[in-house]
A and B are shown apart, each in its own frame.
Chain A
């Protein structure tokens, strides 16, 4: 923890906040893509340290928030089958599917739904329950996809035939590009540090090159985020957009080559639906044919009926940085962390959830 404390040091963050105030000339809108950043900004009250002209908006980088309702519905159907154990990351429990039905509710009605901390825990569940089909809900970006891929490789190699994955894995750059193409006006991206730890910072290079918008790969501590903001301000002021790494204690330009190889061996890209953003070409990861027998969707075919979204929920606009949670009529009323309507209210890292949980005393 000493390692973390240095980046939370009050003198350091005060100094960075002063430098930001000095450097800021005019208005700036930066998007933090990753939900981890949104949570850190709110948790530490970082926005309350920034001058008025700097606006931080949240992007589509909370995996729970962008996961389509259809995925939850499919999981619910699987959960209702005989001799099936659903294993998932904790934040998935509460995402509302069609008609507000979540996995948490499915569990209350008797389904065997278990929270795991890694894909390998799910694999152990399969080993320990040979008479049951164990389905792991693969969700997340380049950060968690290699873990799912590694579990699939082991299951394939060791022929753990009752282990299956349903993949809703996604990759980040196409979504960032989609946001820019849709016209969200930004002066820079605070880029996801843990995604870049796997992929390398190079995957963001097309953004400054093609769109003239700066990218700084940031760590998750207060000093990291403040320094990243300062770096983006300098880029804007000098009119020199580029990809820079602030989080250089973890991230390199090339990334983790082994993890990338594992991910590519198991997954191939596909078009996929993002909650709020719609269908984005080449942004999803599906399981390659070689691993078909561990792909829940090919092994167990079910019929899933999806009902339309609540028309009042504005999660889509929030994920694109067009509107803020306080613009939503449901926020804090019909939609709250205990009874979420939209996905942004579910995860600890969802924009609405963090706004609700860490809302400022002045509202």
Chain B
């Protein structure tokens, strides 16, 4: 392992996984596989429990802000675990000199998103550090929610079988490009909005009305590529996706072409992947497409009996290639 932590350790790719597995999970004797939420038992009830920290530059970006993100992110981690999010904590690490009016905009935004998601923010903490000791503001949220039904498991991929289909609820990469485009040191702007949204109403509807959902995961830092690689190694199956079916908005594609980024690796904050048995595909698509958060839902591929542990992409020209686990932060290219 490296002697120092680099930004790659926080990119949600292989280095992040290595750090978590080799350093944290081992010391904490955590159960494998690691999923978005831990499922714990309280008084005989299965409860999902999760936490996440939010550090983003800029803190206000098109389509959201760090506060909205902090609520949605934790809500989504609970939602894709099959839980109904209930209570959330909110802790703030604030840099000395941070404007109070911006803090109140963030708090209002969190309150609004909590109402949207139907969760209550019930506890929290505030710390202020000296100038330069943190980048403006960091937020940590933790959340709990009761599992939708006893024995529900859509996180460990244990039920995933060859022939199951992969569905995403909409366009990929908008969050990454919106945030990148709004950084003030960059000389390009985009009309793209972050997809930052709470997905719990959507997941509750899906899990209540369909019995054939085998796996769900929100697509955050490591993008679709990261999640599919984790999925293929968890279920020990191959995954085949079709490039032509991937929903990517035109401005995002344009930005990717210019910067040399691959939309498969871009972060999202309001997207999930659903693995569903074949005969429920239409039902899932119907439910997704009738919701504003799933209007561009698409079937993007399937679980295969071959190519165990690999993710294969059929390209637009019919060629085939592997989609690897993201390696570090995507770096913009020279020319």
Contacts and interface: CB of A to CB of B under 8 A. Distances in A.
Contact of A144 (B13, B15, B328, B334): B334
Question: Chain B interface secondary structure, helix, strand, loop or mixed?
Answer: loop
A18 interface: no
Contact of B334 (A44, A47, A64): A64
Contacts, number: 127
10 contacts: A1-B257, A8-B316, A10-B318, A45-B319, A46-B317, A47-B319, A120-B187, A338-B13, A347-B334, A361-B312
B130 interface: no
B186 interface: yes
Contact of B186 (A63, A92, A117): A117
Contact of A1 (B15, B253, B312): B253
Find the residue from B6, B253, B333 having the highest chain A CB count within 10 A. Answer: B333
Which 7 A/B pairs are nearest by Cβ-Cβ distance? A45-B319, A90-B331, A337-B327, A90-B332, A358-B321, A143-B335, A338-B327
Given A36-B335, A117-B186, A347-B333, A361 B8 contact: no
A8 B248 CA distance: 16
Q: How large is the interface on B (under 10, 10 to 19, 20 to 34, 35 or more residues)?
A: 35 or more
A13 B317 CA distance: 6
A140 B8 contact: no
A144 B335 CA distance: 7
B260 interface: yes
B320 to A, nearest CB: 5
Interface string A56-68: 0000000110000
A14 B319 CA distance: 11
A182 interface: no
A32 interface: no
Q: How large is the interface on A (under 10, 10 to 19, 20 to 34, 35 or more residues)?
A: 35 or more
A108 B7 contact: yes
A49 B319 contact: yes
Given A4-B257, A45-B317, A45-B320, A337 B310 contact: no
A140 B332 contact: no
Given A89-B332, A121-B187, 9 more contacts: A10-B316, A44-B316, A90-B333, A140-B335, A141-B335, A144-B335, A358-B322, A360-B321, A361-B307
Nearest to A89: B334
B42 interface: no
Contacts of B32: none
Contacts of A336: 327
A308 B239 CA distance: 42
B253 A63 contact: no
Interface string A328-363: 000000001110000000011100000011111100
Given A1-B253, A43-B315, A357 B324 contact: yes
A64 B332 CA distance: 12
